């Protein structure tokens, strides 16, 4: 089936085009051209669908508390409402048993044809206890080779990212994870600048939620933040809600990092059971008084980047689409609107409200 979408302004992930028609057939973009543009039915803005590499739950269901395919479907529904076509359901520090159940949930969801799920993001338990944030202290530990191998074998093809503290995990284990095809992100870490730079040079290409739960930039101790700033290749996620990171600090980080900085929502949901009980306080979530997650959607991230940080709209879109896609290197997920590629795109109003989302 072929359909045509007209855009007054189209951002394809690289540049802006005016008054064009996007022709889609069987979930693929087959043409982008002036011919066929329908002024009367054109959407004001069309941009690539967004990507969220860290989201824990939605609509009252936290994945780690309800490790079921139905929870992942709720997360997907929340993602679609916020402009996201591809996502990584995430669990914070948990027992091995819960991690395996979450792997099962991802397996069941994906194998049954569930859409949008890139794979599982495991954050902890191999993190630094001094940088735990809202994670459960009793479950944090340094892993053995056997433990890691068990999880990797069980979740092969379904685990796509692991956040860990490089100073806590033996370098041979880090290499094992990297060689299994899982993207490793440095997070909840108290590594020194030197330890972080070494990790970024060897097997770890990403950092998790810049500034939060990592050794800070200080004038005599640059820490993980300093290493992220100074490294030529490492990318980092960031939570752009104004609570996790002040908007002025995001502006500074963007000036330094440029295309290496991207957004996650780090979104949780209200829960009243289990080890992670999140309460909505204003526009953020807290657990026992500690900041524990955001109430963001990725489309809201874009609003904040544009309105509060002063980033140009196209670049803000790239921070929520193109750059996360580059982190994951997954077939068919580009974060762009390109010929012969998946037709994943957002139709927006002039004030950037979601009117329609198309997914392949």
User: Does 321 reside within a domain?
Assistant: yes
Any idea which of 45-54, 102-111, 233-242, 274-283 has the lowest mean pLDDT? 274-283
pTM: 0.97
247 and 284 assigned to the same domain = yes
Q: Say if residues 177 and 148 touch (Cβ distance below 8 Å).
A: yes
Specify the CATH number for the domain of residue 32.
Answer: 2.30.40.10
Does any domain span residue 334?
no
Q: Are residues 307 and 284 in the same domain?
A: yes
pLDDT band at 115 (very low <50, low <70, confident <90, very high): very high
12 plus 123 within the same structural domain: no
Average pLDDT score over residue span 26-42: 96
What does each C-alpha distance from 303 to 77, 89, 353 come to in angstroms? Answer: 20, 23, 9
- 250 and 287 housed in the same domain: yes
Q: Does some domain include residue 29? A: yes
Q: Is the pLDDT of residue 273 over 90?
A: no
Same-domain pairing of 157 and 303: yes
Q: How many domains does the chain have?
A: 2
pLDDT at 274: 79
For residues 301 and 321, the answer to whether their CB atoms sit within 8 Å is no
What's the rounded mean pLDDT across residues 41-58? Answer: 98
**High-pLDDT (> 70) share of the chain, %:** 100
Given a cut of 90, is residue 267 above it in pLDDT? yes
164 and 189 share a domain?
yes
238 has pLDDT over 90: yes
Residues 38 and 117 occupy one common structural domain: no
Instruction: Tell me the mean pLDDT in the region 347-354.
Output: 97
Is the predicted pLDDT of residue 342 greater than 90, yes or no?
yes
In terms of domains, do 84 and 35 share one?
no
Residue 360 has pLDDT above 90, yes or no: no
Residue 275 has pLDDT above 90, yes or no: no
- With bands split at pLDDT 50, 70 and 90, how would you rate the model's confidence at 1? confident
Domain of 232: which CATH number? Answer: 3.20.20.140
Give the structural domain span for 32: 2-47+339-358
């Amino acid at each position: 089936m072929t359909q045509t979408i007209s855009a007054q302004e189209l951002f394809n992930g690289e540049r802006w085009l005016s008054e064009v028609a996007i022709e889609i057939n069987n979930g693929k973009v087959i043409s982008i051209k002036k011919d066929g543009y329908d002024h009367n039915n054109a959407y004001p803005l069309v941009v690539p669908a967004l990507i969220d590499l860290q989201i824990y739950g939605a609509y009252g269901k936290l994945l780690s508390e309800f490790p079921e395919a139905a929870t992942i479907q709720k997360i997907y529904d929340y993602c679609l409402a916020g402009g996201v076509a591809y996502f990584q359901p995430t669990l914070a520090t948990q027992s091995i048993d819960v991690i395996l159940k979450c792997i099962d949930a991802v397996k069941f969801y994906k194998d049954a044809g569930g859409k949008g799920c890139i794979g599982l993001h495991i954050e902890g338990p191999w993190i630094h206890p001094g940088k735990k944030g809202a994670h459960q202290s009793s479950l944090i530990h340094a892993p053995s080779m056997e433990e890691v191998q068990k999880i990797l074998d069980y979740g092969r093809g379904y685990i796509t990212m692991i956040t860990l503290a490089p100073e806590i995990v033996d370098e041979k284990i880090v290499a094992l994870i990297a060689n299994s095809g899982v993207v490793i992100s440095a997070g909840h870490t108290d590594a020194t600048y030197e330890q972080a730079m070494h990790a970024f040079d060897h097997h770890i290409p990403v950092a998790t939620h810049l500034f939060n739960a990592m050794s800070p930039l200080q004038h005599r101790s640059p820490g993980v933040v300093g290493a992220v700033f100074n490294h030529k290749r490492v990318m980092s996620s960031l939570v752009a809600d104004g609570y996790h990171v002040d908007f002025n600090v995001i502006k500074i980080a963007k000036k330094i990092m440029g295309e290496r900085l991207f957004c996650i929502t780090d979104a949780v949901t209200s829960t009243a059971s289990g080890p992670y009980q999140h309460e909505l306080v204003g526009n953020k979530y807290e657990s026992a008084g500690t900041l524990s997650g955001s109430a963001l959607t990725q489309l809201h991230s874009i609003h904040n980047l544009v309105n509060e940080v002063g980033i140009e709209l196209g670049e803000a879109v790239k921070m929520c689409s193109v750059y996360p896609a580059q982190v994951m290197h997954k077939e068919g997920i580009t974060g762009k609107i390109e010929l012969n590629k998946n037709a994943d795109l957002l139709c927006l109003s002039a004030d950037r409200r979601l009117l329609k989302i198309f997914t392949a």
